[in-house]
Chain A
Amino acid sequence: MVYEAQLGHPGGDFSAADILATLYFGVMRYDPARPADPLRDRFIMSKGHCTGAFYAVLAAAGYYPEDDLKTYMQPMSRLNGHPNRNYLPGVETNTGPLGHGLPVATGIAIAGQIDGADFRTFVLTGDGELQEGSNWECALTAAHRKLENLTLIVDRNRLQQGAGTEETASLDPLDDKWRAFGWHVEMVDGHDHTQLLDVLSASPKGRGKPLCVIANTVKGKGVSFMHDNVSWHHGVPNKEQFEQAMRELV
């Protein structure tokens, strides 16, 4: 998709791919034929620039034909550079600017709490994204309201657009920060499906806290020349790189 569009954010797509696949094919309850089902589990892609992975997973989940992926970022495509709920089933809220997903997910989780509904709300943020203060505003509210139906997954690849997160505005100790805000924290290998499945599919009932899963990942995972390389935040492969990447991913 990124190669054909000559646009995209492949590094973050690959760090998030295993998390997305685990959610959609092992954890979440949804029916692509009824995308507005009030009892569906919700997922919000707060790192909205990583549409390459998100759109591919939504297509594989059955929200729309995989053929549509060929239109990625083309004029008039439903597959915008950042997700748009009004065009694309399966998108819950329009994201792109960072620090929006967790607050909106918090509102969804509160609606579920008011109704006593048992759907869950998941949100995936980048780690650099946590530098946006809006996340910490609603971290207070989510903990205050004991939103056990809310799960934040942090794609902890340790790279943001320009440099490492710890070189830019450091986040560590990230787990302690969330604990101090009143959240339950789990640390996992974000490419290990078994670990992801274990923490994400465990019932949240009775926990009394929102869950933060810090998923340690590698930006550009699966492609040797993108691996942990900041230049692939929004890099685009040339023909040789594309062919090499496809060989390595298979």
Chain B
Amino acid sequence: MSAAAPKQDGLFDCRDSFAATIEALAAADSRIVTVVSDSVGSSKLAGFRKKFPDRMVNVGIAEQTLVAVGAGLANGGKVPFVSAASCFITGRAMEQVKADIAYSNVNVKLIGQSSGVAYGELGPTHHSIEDLAWLRLFNNMKLIVPADPWQTVEAIKAAAAHDGPVFVRVSRMAVPALERGVNPTFSIGQAETLVDGADATIIANGTMVHRAVAAARTLAAEGVAVRVVNMATVNPLDETAIAAAAETGAIVTVEEHSVRGGLGGAIAEVVATTNPVPMRILGFPGFVPTGSAEWLFDHFGLTETGIADAVRQTIARKKR
């Protein structure tokens, strides 16, 4: 099972990787079904619908029913992948996510599509920069934010293999394939170190990881050795990777999410109670102005330059 082909510019839409993977998994496991709320196109599931027309449930524009029907399908022995825009599958159906999926601890996979500020110009109603903060409250729900096409494939496979609630956050923002060593592995709860370094650590996930790697390259040219950790799993966190990061004496987190309660907040909870070091949390402050996703990344410093600046400033706060 491999990721879908890149677009012409060498960048990938991870929704294609999701769609290719779910089709391949469904061919091998008849329990797999998809549940959508008129979100076939935005979930890239037209191919799935063509191959498995009886295994797609479209409830219409009704997110509470979307999530609850997923819980019911799991009760009936299915492995449902419930897929819709991340802003609605979480916020619109929050109590169903809580009571029907998390508290009932059922085998449902929630796929939050087009997460973050992908729908930039549509504004904060359609941004999903609160989803991880909301879902982090459910201790038994695995939260995965893949960074590139390969990791999206692996995350979907891991979600299908895990018996219990999983949320996978899938971006529609174009991203490059990350460079990794031979035979990379993915497992839920295990971070990967993409660049090693001892002066500071950037911990990122999703669409920000390749930007973090670029920032580390910039800093390396200045003689600053920065570690880059891809923390794709937000719950459970890889606390070993966080402890190792704290040993570099400075941590900068980067995420396409609110700075309140997301990856940075989760890591701060661990760092503050284990090995406090200077930290900087990069993300969005809350509701953001209208603008394209790329404009928003630039405006809020979620760029190679902005990340590098934050690392320099955080290193300067290290105790001497």
B70 on the interface (CB 8 Å rule)?
yes
Alpha-carbon gap, A112 to B65, bound state (A): 17
Tell me the nearest residue of chain B to A108, going by C-beta: B72
Contact A141 B69 (CB under 8 A): yes
Alpha-carbon gap, A193 to B250, bound state (A): 71
Q: Known interface pairs A94-B99, A107-B70. Does A140 touch B78 (Cβ–Cβ under 8 Å)?
A: no
A100 touches which one: B60, B96, B105 (CB < 8 A)?
Answer: B96
Tell me the nearest residue of chain A to B76, going by C-beta: A111
A42 on the interface (CB 8 Å rule)?
yes
Contact B62 A104 (CB under 8 A): no
Q: Known interface pairs A104-B75, A110-B76. Does A85 touch B104 (Cβ–Cβ under 8 Å)?
A: yes
Tell me the nearest residue of chain B to A99, going by C-beta: B64
Contact B68 A100 (CB under 8 A): yes
Contact A141 B75 (CB under 8 A): no
Contact B62 A106 (CB under 8 A): no
Contact B72 A106 (CB under 8 A): yes
Q: How many residues of B contact A (CB 8 A)?
A: 29
Contact A134 B69 (CB under 8 A): no
Alpha-carbon gap, A97 to B64, bound state (A): 13
A211 on the interface (CB 8 Å rule)?
no
Alpha-carbon gap, A86 to B140, bound state (A): 13
Contact A93 B104 (CB under 8 A): yes
B71 on the interface (CB 8 Å rule)?
yes
Alpha-carbon gap, A110 to B72, bound state (A): 8
Alpha-carbon gap, A34 to B62, bound state (A): 34
Contact A114 B65 (CB under 8 A): no
Alpha-carbon gap, A17 to B76, bound state (A): 27
Chain B binding site: helix, strand, loop or mixed by DSSP?
helix
The B55-101 residues at the A interface (CB cut-off 8 A) are 55, 57, 59-60, 62, 64-65, 68-78, 80, 95-96, 99-100
Alpha-carbon gap, A141 to B54, bound state (A): 15
Query: What's the nearest-Cβ distance from chain B to residue A71, in Å?
Result: 21
Q: Which A residues are CB-close (under 8 A) to B300?
A: none
A103 on the interface (CB 8 Å rule)?
yes
Contact A107 B72 (CB under 8 A): yes
B33 on the interface (CB 8 Å rule)?
yes
B295 on the interface (CB 8 Å rule)?
no
Contact B100 A104 (CB under 8 A): yes
Alpha-carbon gap, A42 to B62, bound state (A): 24
B134 on the interface (CB 8 Å rule)?
no
B287 on the interface (CB 8 Å rule)?
no
Write the B273-309 contact mask toward A (1 if CB under 8 angstroms, else 0): 0000000000000000000000000000000000000
Contact A137 B55 (CB under 8 A): no
Alpha-carbon gap, A228 to B78, bound state (A): 42
Q: Which A residues are CB-close (under 8 A) to B106?
A: 93
Q: Known interface pairs A93-B104, A103-B72. Does A137 touch B65 (Cβ–Cβ under 8 Å)?
A: yes
Alpha-carbon gap, A115 to B33, bound state (A): 12
Alpha-carbon gap, A69 to B160, bound state (A): 38
Contact B62 A141 (CB under 8 A): yes
Q: Known interface pairs A86-B105, A114-B55, A140-B60. Does A92 touch B65 (Cβ–Cβ under 8 Å)?
A: no
A215 on the interface (CB 8 Å rule)?
no
The A60-104 residues at the B interface (CB cut-off 8 A) are 84-86, 92-97, 99-100, 103-104
Contact A100 B76 (CB under 8 A): no
Q: Which B residues are CB-close (under 8 A) to A100?
A: 68, 95-96, 99-100
A93 touches which one: B64, B75, B95 (CB < 8 A)?
Answer: B75
Q: Which B residues are CB-close (under 8 A) to A104?
A: 68-69, 71-72, 75, 100
Write the A102-124 contact mask toward B (1 if CB under 8 angstroms, else 0): 01111111111011010000000
Query: What's the nearest-Cβ distance from chain B to residue A96, in Å?
Result: 7
Complex A-B, nearest 5 residue pairs according to Cβ-Cβ distance, in ascending order: A107-B72, A111-B76, A103-B68, A107-B69, A137-B62
Question: Could you name 13 residue pairs across A and B whose Cβ atoms are closer than 8 Å?
Answer: A42-B75, A86-B104, A94-B103, A96-B99, A107-B74, A108-B75, A111-B72, A111-B75, A133-B64, A137-B59, A138-B59, A140-B60, A141-B60
Given A100-B68, A100-B96; 18 other pairs, CB 8 A cutoff: A84-B103, A85-B104, A86-B105, A93-B100, A97-B99, A103-B68, A104-B71, A104-B75, A108-B72, A110-B57, A111-B72, A111-B73, A112-B76, A114-B33, A114-B55, A137-B59, A138-B59, A138-B62
Chain B residues near A (Cβ < 8 Å): 33, 54-55, 57, 59-60, 62, 64-65, 68-78, 80, 95-96, 99-100, 103-106
